[in-house]
Structure formats: C-alpha cells, structure tokens
Amino acid sequence: MTQGRDPGLQPERTALAWRRTALALMIGPVAAARLLAPGSGVLAAAAAGGGLLIGICIAALATRRQRAVERVLAGVEDPVALPDALLLALTAAVLLLAGLFSLGLLLYAR
C-alpha cells in the first residue's frame, strides 16, 4: 500500500470555512455601519472600513494557509512548513475587539 495524499476533502472544507468567516467579518461591519450611520456617521464608516480591511487580511492569510497545507499534503514541502496559529489568533482578537466595540456603542447610545 502506497502512502499518498488523503483523498478526503477536509482541507477544502476548512478553507471554505475560513472564507465564510472572512466574508462575515467583511459584511458584518458594513451592515452595522449602515444601521448606525444616521447616529454616528464617521465612526460607523471607520468601523466598516476597518472591518473590510481586517476581513481581507484574514481571507489572504486563509488562502496562504490553504496553499501551504496543499503543498505539504502533496509532498512538496516538509510538514514542519505547516502554518502556525496566527490566523486563529488574529480572528479571535478581531472578534473580541468587535464585541467590545459593540458593547461600547450600546452603552454610549443609552
């Protein structure tokens, strides 16, 4: 029996999940800015722009990660070349900041 690439679709499903996460991080702030624009125009626009930028960065990191995993699975690179947890840490930090920002907006609106 030869050892080769696992024919499963786990790497592709993981890449799609990261793309959905990046898309949600891009669309969520834009939708929130649309709702908040009448009350806080500049702040809402800045949040939407920041959300778009962060979502694009996460999408780029996810694409880079998927390509690295594909190269390792194809046997082109050593398994040591697998990506670290930077993508996960960045996403967690973004979600924490977004939650704190949302909490601040709710408290400010009162």
Model pTM? 0.70
60-99 pLDDT per residue, tens: 988 888 888 888 888 887 777 666 788 788 888 888 888 8
Mean pLDDT value of segment 9-36: 84
CA proximity to 63, closest of 22, 102, 33: 22
Q: Which one-letter DSSP state was computed for residue 31? A: H
**One-letter amino acid for residue 40 of the chain:** S
Query: Distance of alpha carbon 67 from its chain centroid, rounded?
Result: 16
39-67 pLDDT per residue, tens: 667 777 787 888 888 889 888 988 888 88
Per-residue pLDDT band at 2 (split at 50, 70, 90)? very low
